């Protein structure tokens, strides 16, 4: 498990390290701000998809220890989303709050991305074991179902941001849809009646 | 075998850049001295680029060659900004013919060299604003479209000029996808086509234009979003009715026929008030008609630019 965790950590950190190397060597292409936006945005979506994949994969493989990877993946999704938004706030809006808010109000793709980021904040904050205890497993789980709202918002944000070629936004939308549906399809009927599976709680 | 080639010393290599700029400043000062009328009538591109505004602001530095030729949209070679440079090697630009037809005196198919022979190319430095919100400053080589139009003698029924890009998926791998309805078609109103700023382009940075930028012949309309400038043109047609243009057909409510750069009319999905100049980190304000309002605003007098976007 420790090795699996180290491996996933290294994999999830790779895009960030690639960006750092690019910033240091001044080699992020013709439009560095756009490159950062692309890399952090897609990384956030990929980490989000990986987070959502844990439960279905765990059911499919029976490898329950996988749940221990979920918090890390979720936090990486937040980390990249935060970098993604910072790139936008700093370089596109020069940190001007009125300018950011105007963009949020006027353009749905900004609104969707902004909302997804805001909703990720409480999930990141309550990701610690202490917060699980404080909230209680059930309430904690209910709160963290916000990810079912966040994923579609993030996918819609990406879809609306591209000019014409929606290949990648479509890929993410389909992956999210499959991962969300897998929760209901893959679940034994008995367990549905009994409520959430005891093992689907957070990592202890 | 003796292979004859035209002398290919680019102007940039003949004139050192510093002298080049001094000359521009001289011409610009001359322009101010003699009045915009004389210069504006004879060499509008220079008037556009070397007026006091441009030199005093000093913020329209040329975008480097590598960015101009390595970062652009040319969906015929893929939808990524690096795809055109990567994939355009398969385009064969010689031999090349251009069909001119429609409402003109003598419709004909010209070998490219025959079509271009009467029109010596000169350098024109233009701002280039993409509808996506980025911009460049490009030293194009070309000649005013109006010179060509006049030679083709449009009939009194000609109201629009339509430009068609080559359609050949074997040479243009992007055309194997149906991301747009091929061939790519763009068009101008006849008075826009006759405007002295409207350029037929055959080169950039004093060199023949690279395949990825629309070789061997493309259109550049500096006060409109970049997609209006059709590339690798094989047909120029004069029509009475407004032609259907590719982006307008693809997403009509986002891309209008006019597509004039306008900071006050947003793209339905994103703002057009600001742009990122390639090479800079922060955005700058987008100028009305991309900064060419003095020269082109009168073309649209009385028109509602929100409706005619």
- Establish if B266 touches chain A: CB-CB under 8 angstroms: yes
pLDDT bracket for residue B30 (50, 70, 90): very low
What digits encode the pLDDT tens for the residues B57-107?
Answer: 457 999 999 999 999 999 999 999 999 999 999 999 999 999 999 999 999
pLDDT at residue number B252: 97
Residues in chain A with CB shorter than 8 Å from the CB of B270 are: 107, 109, 161
Provide the 3-class DSSP secondary structure of residue B218: strand
Structure confidence at residue B54 (pLDDT): 39
Q: What is the ipTM of this complex?
A: 0.85
Alpha-carbon gap: A65 to the closest alpha carbon of chain B (Å): 40
How far apart (Å, rounded) are the C-alpha atoms in residues B96 and B91? 11
Per-residue confidence at B195, pLDDT binned at 50, 70, 90?
A: very high
Cβ distance A106 to B266 less than 8 Å, yes or no, reads yes
Q: What is the pLDDT at residue B159? A: 98
**What residues of chain A score a pLDDT lower than 70?**
186-204
Q: pLDDT confidence of B1, banded at 50, 70, 90?
A: very low
pLDDT at B8 over 80: no
Dihedral sign from CA coordinates of A56, A58, A59, A61:
positive
A83: closest CA of chain B, how far (Å): 16
Cα–Cα distance, B41 to B44 (Å, whole number): 6
Question: What distance in Å separates the CA atoms of residue B170 and residue A33, rounded to the nearest whole number?
Answer: 35
Q: Over 80: is that where the pLDDT of B41 sits? A: no
Q: Residue B26's pLDDT band (boundaries 50, 70, 90)? A: very low
Does residue B253 belong to the interface with chain A, where contact is any CB pair within 8 Å?
no
Q: Which of A149, A151, A186 is nearest to A172 (CA)?
A: A151
Which residues, listed in sequence order, are joined to residue B238 by a DSSP beta bridge? B102, B161
B31 vs B210, more confident = B210
| pLDDT higher than 50, residue B48 | no
Contact A91 B79 (CB under 8 A): no
Nearest CA in chain B to A90: B282
- Indicate whether B9 pLDDT > 90: no
Q: Read off the tokens for A45.
A: 């979506």
Q: What is the mean pLDDT of residues B235-243?
A: 98
| pLDDT over 70 percentage in chain B | 81
| Cβ neighbours of B282 in A, within 8 Å | 91, 94
- Round to whole Å and give the CA distance between B292 and B129: 12
How many beta-carbon contacts under 8 Å exist across A and B?
48
User: Nearest CA to CA, how far is B279 from chain A (Å)?
Assistant: 7
B185 to chain A, minimum CA–CA distance in Å? 17
Helices in chain A by DSSP H: which ranges?
A: 2-25, 32-61, 70-87, 97-106, 108-125, 129-135, 137-144, 147-161, 167-185, 189-194
Mean of the per-residue pLDDT values for chain B?
A: 87
pLDDT category at B264 given cuts 50, 70, 90 is very high
Residue B39 has pLDDT above 50, yes or no: no
Nearest alpha-carbon partner for B68 in B184, B181, B289, B226: B226
- When pLDDT is averaged across residues B162-188 and rounded to a whole number, the result is 97
Q: Which residue has the tokens 């994103």?
A: B270
pLDDT recorded at residue B34:
38
Give which of A95, A115, A96, A94 is closest to A160, Cα–Cα. A115
Distance from CA of B48 to the nearest CA of A (A): 26
> Considering only residues 150 to 179 of chain B, which have any Cβ-Cβ distance to chain A shorter than 8 Å?
179
**Token pair recorded at residue B179:** 């991301």
The per-residue pLDDT for B3 is 53
Q: Which residues of chain A lie closer than 8 angstroms to B269, CB-CB?
A: 107-109, 160-161
What is the C-alpha to C-alpha distance for residues B77 and B81, in angstroms, rounded to an integer? 10
**Cis bond upstream, residue B95 (ω within 30):** yes
Choice between A34 and B28, residue whose per-residue pLDDT is larger: A34
pLDDT of residue A187: 61
Residue A31 is nearest to which of B131, B134, B270, comparing CB atoms? Answer: B134
Tell me what pLDDT residue A189 has: 52
**Cα gap A184→B165, rounded to integer Å:** 50
- Please report the pLDDT score of residue B14 as a whole number: 52
Strands B218-220 and B284-285: unpaired
> What is the reported pLDDT for A184?
80
Both tokens assigned to B228: 């209006």
The answer to whether B71 touches A29, Cβ cutoff 8 Å, is yes
- A106/B81 CB distance under 8 A: no
Q: pLDDT band for position B32 (50/70/90)?
A: very low
Q: Which is nearest to A175 in space by CA: A44, A27, A46?
A: A46
Is the pLDDT confidence value at B19 over 50?
Answer: no
Task: At A89, give phi and psi (nearest 5°).
Answer: -65, -45
Check CB contact under 8 Å for A108 and B269.
yes
Question: In 3-state terms, what secondary structure has residue B142?
Answer: strand
Q: Flag whether pLDDT at B6 surpasses 80.
A: no
pLDDT of residue A185: 77
Interface of B with A in 9-68 (CB under 8 A): 66-67
């Amino acid at each position: 498990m420790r090795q699996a965790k180290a491996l996933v950590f290294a994999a999830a950190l790779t895009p960030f390290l690639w960006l750092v190397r690019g910033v240091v060597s001044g080699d992020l292409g013709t439009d560095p701000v756009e490159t950062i936006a692309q890399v952090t945005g897609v990384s956030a979506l990929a980490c989000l998809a990986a987070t959502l994949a844990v439960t279905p994969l765990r059911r499919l493989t029976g490898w329950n220890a996988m749940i221990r990877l979920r918090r890390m993946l979720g936090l990486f999704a937040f980390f990249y989303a935060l970098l993604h938004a910072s790139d936008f706030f700093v370089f596109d809006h020069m940190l001007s709050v009125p300018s950011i808010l105007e963009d949020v109000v006027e353009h749905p793709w900004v609104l969707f991305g902004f909302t997804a980021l805001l909703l990720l904040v409480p999930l990141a904050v309550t990701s610690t074991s202490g917060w699980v205890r404080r909230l209680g497993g059930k309430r904690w789980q209910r709160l963290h179902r916000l990810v079912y709202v966040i994923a579609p918002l993030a996918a819609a944000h990406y879809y609306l941001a591209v000019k014409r070629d929606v290949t990648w936004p479509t890929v993410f939308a389909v992956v999210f849809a499959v991962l969300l549906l897998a929760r209901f399809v893959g679940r034994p009927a008995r367990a549905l009646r009994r409520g959430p599976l005891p093992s689907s709680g957070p990592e202890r | 075998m003796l292979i004859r080639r035209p002398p290919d010393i680019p102007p940039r290599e003949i004139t050192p850049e510093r002298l080049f700029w001094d000359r521009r400043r001289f011409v610009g000062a001359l322009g101010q001295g003699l009045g915009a009328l004389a210069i504006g009538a004879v060499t509008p591109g220079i008037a556009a680029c070397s007026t006091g505004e441009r030199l005093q602001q000093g913020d329209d530095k040329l975008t480097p060659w590598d960015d101009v030729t390595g970062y652009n949209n040319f969906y015929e070679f893929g939808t990524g900004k690096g795809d055109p440079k990567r994939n355009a090697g398969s385009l064969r630009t010689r031999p090349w013919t251009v069909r001119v037809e429609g409402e003109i005196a003598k419709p004909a198919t010209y070998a490219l060299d025959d079509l271009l022979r009467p029109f010596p190319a000169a350098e024109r430095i233009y701002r280039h604003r993409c509808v996506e919100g980025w911009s460049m400053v490009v030293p194009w080589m070309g000649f005013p479209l109006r010179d060509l139009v006049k030679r083709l003698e449009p009939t009194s029924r000609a109201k629009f000029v339509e430009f068609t890009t080559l359609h050949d998926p074997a040479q243009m791998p992007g055309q194997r996808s149906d991301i747009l309805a091929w061939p790519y078609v763009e068009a101008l109103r006849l008075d826009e086509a006759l405007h002295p700023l409207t350029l037929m382009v055959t080169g950039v940075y004093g060199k023949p234009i690279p395949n990825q930028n629309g070789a061997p012949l493309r259109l550049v309309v500096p006060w409109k979003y970049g997609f209006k400038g059709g590339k690798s043109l094989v047909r120029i047609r004069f029509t009475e009715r407004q032609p259907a243009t590719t982006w307008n057909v693809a997403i009509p409510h986002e891309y209008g026929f006019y597509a004039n750069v306008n900071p006050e009319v947003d793209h339905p999905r994103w703002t057009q008030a600001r742009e990122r100049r390639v090479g800079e980190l922060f955005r700058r304000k987008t100028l009305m008609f991309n900064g060419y309002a003095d020269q082109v605003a009168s073309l649209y007098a009385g028109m509602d630019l929100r409706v005619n976007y």
